Structure 1
Amino acid sequence: MTNVLVVEDDDLIRSVLVKALGGAEYTALEAVDGESAQAILSTISDIDLMLLDIGLPDTDGLTLLREARDRGFAAPVIILTARDSVANTVEGLESGANDYMVKPFRVPELLARIRLRLREHEATEDPGILEHAGMRLDIRTRRVEVDGRIQELTNREYSLLEMLLRNKGETISREQLLESVWGMDFDPGSNIVNVYIRSLRRKIGENKVQTVRGVGYRVE
């Protein structure tokens, strides 16, 4: 699932955003001020996009944005604000925002902009790097990092993880994994995929790969 951080102190606006995001099959993470936003950004590594109100009760949203960018936060940011002057828009974009919408906004337009910014960001990502949910695979060197720590994987474990990350959010069947990683037709009596998934989980974390019972596996 795509994670969207919603930083908005107005309860009504935030609830509208969360409902709209859920309806579009995004996962919304809620922050009511700068402090709670900082807490989420420091503990969750796979934020895919941020919706940011700059009129927060404890800090200016642009300060929060600049600090996040300085720490390496690279996901798209869409500012939502009542400040509608050209100078405000320029300041927001120069602070690191990718887009700027003035309140009141139309939800369908916001969702369209979210889709656009996500597509643009995905297109600019290094094709030699697969990165998701704290996992980072360098395709060229086969180096694997999980939550900032290097992990040594066998060739089969690496190939399993690469296939799951290339298809993140999708359920990959045992048949597909067996054919892709081992080059074998599916043998209903074989548990080799299950064995390697268990081994992979021990190294990267039990919750990184989800089992879809009776179907296969996926990462979200």
Structure 2
Amino acid sequence: MFNYTFRWNQAFNALPRLLEGALVTLEIALLSMLIGIVIAILLTGFRLSGNALLSAIARTWVEVARNTPALFQIYMAHFGLGAFGIHLSPYTSLLAGIAFNNAGYLAENFRGALKAIPDTQTRSARSLGMPAIQAFRLIVMPQMLRIAFLPATNQMVWAILMTSLGVTVGMNTDLAGITQELNARSFRTFEFFAMAAVIYYLIAKAVTLAARALAWRMFRY
């Protein structure tokens, strides 16, 4: 018999704490994207450099990031590095694991975007007297951003959802960690996790809509 009594008042009373955790979740996701973008640009440069060693490093990073579970990557940051005497906090481990994952996916996005731009455009810019850096900044980069922007938005949403894996390494200040703590105290599993799911959904939708608006403003011409 279904005799569960819903007590939504407890979940709504805890909403301020859940929103505090949502801010931490968003903070980790944003930082992991910024770090991931920087590393991804370097990896893309390595892949296109023609240097065998640099290309191998970049290819290995991308292969590991894209073909192993995100949970494994977070575990390696938190527990694996401990074997070498490097002990990271749950926050740093979660951030490092997600940034590692983001860098792998974003590097492929950037490389694909660059490959989609004909070489003739760069050669034409150089023939007009543009230095290589100026040609890249004015000709190549705007097109690369247009192509890679929406896939990067998807990665941002994925990063937000990946933060929920932090509970496995003791993260207790983000949305998933606070939800787990409230559930352990009250055993109102359905109410608290349903509330957290709604918050995750709203954050993801807000990021997607903001990205579409930004893309329309930046790339409408």
TM-score (norm 2): 0.32
Larger Cα-atom Rg:
2
